[in-house]
Structure 1
């Protein structure tokens, strides 16, 4: 078990300053931060704990808090924490401290974090646009409610990052079942032409649905359509929808990924044509 300890704790346990230096030199202790040590080479979690030992008033935030909340699937490269505006520090390049007052702190596995909703505003200042889109879509699909994030934006409306989050919420595409579907849905939203995602049509569901024009867009991944039963059921489903007056546009996942703009242009053209014809 990894233990993260401060220099003061080690001295209180009877380890002298010279003995401490010898243990670090021998690899029995690892210096993580100024006056903070771990008993084994530190993992990302250990570095988070070390930051809180180093700065007792710190709160994990930004990408780090989002990761602890399960909103980011990949472990961040940096440890982000927020400290009071008056704090000062000089630490390693893997640690970023942000200065602001934190009004609400939530504990997860004994660690102080900003709220999950606050993470949306925080990561808007650290992630690029594509990464922020993926973060918002996946987080709203799996764990967070749109209204809860919107209320958090209202509560901290003057913070840097709020405008970007509001724009992301306006164009968010949660509930997409694959990355190609999400890319097409997002591209449509950027054209101010959003379609219903994973919409129910009778006994079936469509990846993207326009009810006014009775158009269904399907993004087909090979892995989901390769067996004989699925192949047959797809044909039965498509025939049923066509006979019921629906236009079904189908694209392979590879095409949707490689030629997103062309796919989106064709979808918009056909949906507009169908809406006009049905009107």
Structure 2
């Protein structure tokens, strides 16, 4: 017998033969009329649900896992089914009755599109979990623009309000959790800086080109390698000699005093902007 997950029809066995193999542990009953030849993993369970509900489309956190938007396997299998479908399911399966959205295929299984996955997750998660999801799952500014377009043409859909808010506030391209939290804290105050922006041959964690300010969030790893330590000092000296102001904070410092750090960053950037604007010559109208 081939290995995998099968319907009773695919097995080609009578009810008695199936019952005997289940009793002798040669088959595992996963769902009504759905059997596995060995202990199923998460992907096998996804397959089992689509065999059990042939019109189902995998969605929500299951779709996020299939699209590689999250690393950990969700606790349940989430699937969308037509409104007239029976909702009764085992505890490890969560069915959402609705008009089936546009879908694609991942790993051979029907799954909502990547864009729809953001909408579904926005309707399912809340607070810091939702923030972390968007900060890590939105890969590029282009993808964010695509999702903004989706918001404009899909008003009223569940999760759309949360999706709009996250698109305004999510921070892309941070390299560490302290950096991400600093970016989130700034965006919560509607204050934004370029993240991992390039300045000549160097990059800065947070950059304001108008004020010529760079904010660096240093983790412990910056002090482990002598080469990294020395290169970081050379980079800082070069930027300062080119007129940039460098603000440095340790990861421990920002985690312990986030509000104070954000207050200082905003005050310095705004003061530098005003100072630079004041030094600019007036346009010579004539």
TM-score by length of 2: 0.90
Choose the corresponding residue for 1:183, options 171, 181, 184: 181
Unmatched segments (≥5 aa) in structure 2: 278-286
Q: Name the structure 2 match of 1:55.
A: 53
2:43 maps to which residue? 45
CA distance 1:119–1:143, change in 2 (3 Å): farther
Pick which of 147-156 and 212-221 moved more: 147-156
Of the three residues 165, 184, 188, the one matched with 1:167 is 165
1:221 aligned residue (210, 213, 219): 219
Query: What is the match of residue 148 of structure 1?
Result: 146
1:121–1:165 CA contact under 8 A, matched in 2: yes
Determine the structure 2 residue equivalent to 1:240: 238
Task: Measure how far apart 1:142 and its partner are.
Answer: 6.3
Aligned equivalent of 2:191, options 186, 190, 193: 193
Q: Answer yes or no: is the 8 Å Cα contact 2:66–2:107 preserved in 1.
A: no
List aligned pairs for 1:99-138, cutoff 5 A. 99-138=97-136
Q: After superposition, where does 1:228-267 map in structure 2 within 5 Å?
A: 228-267=226-265
Q: Which whole-Å deviations, capped at 9, do the CAs of 1:198-249 have from their partners, x for residues lacking one? A: 1222321110011222211001122244211111111111112222222111
The equivalent of 1:72 in structure 2 is 70
Quote the Cα distance in structure 1 between the aligned partners of 2:49 and 2:101: 20
In the other structure, the counterpart of 1:272 is 270
Please give the alpha-carbon distance, in whole angstroms, between the structure 2 residues aligned to 1:154 and 1:142: 19
**CA distance 1:164–1:26, shift in 2 (3 Å):** same
Partner of 1:94: 92
| Maintained 8 Å contact 2:182/2:258 | yes
Secondary structure in structure 2 of the residue aligned to 1:274: helix
Contact 1:219 1:253 in 2 (8 A): yes
In the alignment of these two chains, the number of paired residues is 276
Contact 1:34 1:91 in 2 (8 A): no
CA distance in structure 2 between the partners assigned to 1:270 and 1:215 by the alignment: 8
What does residue 27 of structure 1 align with?
25
Aligned-pair CA distance for 1:100? 1.2
Does 2:2 align with 1:8?
no
Q: How much is the aligned-residue C-alpha RMSD, in angstroms?
A: 1.8
What secondary structure does 2:99 align onto?
A: coil
Distance 1:168 1:94 in 2: 28
CA apart distance, 1:69: 0.9
Distance, in Å, in 2 between the alignment partners of 1:5 and 1:70 is 25
CA distance in 2, matches of 1:230, 1:169: 34
Contact 2:89 2:95 in 1 (8 A): no
Q: Distance in 2 between matches of 1:225 and 1:184?
A: 21
Structure 1 length as normaliser, TM-score? 0.92
* C-alpha separation in 2, matches of 1:111 and 1:144: 26
Q: Say yes or no: does 1:210 pair with 2:211.
A: no
Distance 1:143 1:157, change over 3 A: same
Cα 1:144/1:77, change in 2 over 3 Å: farther
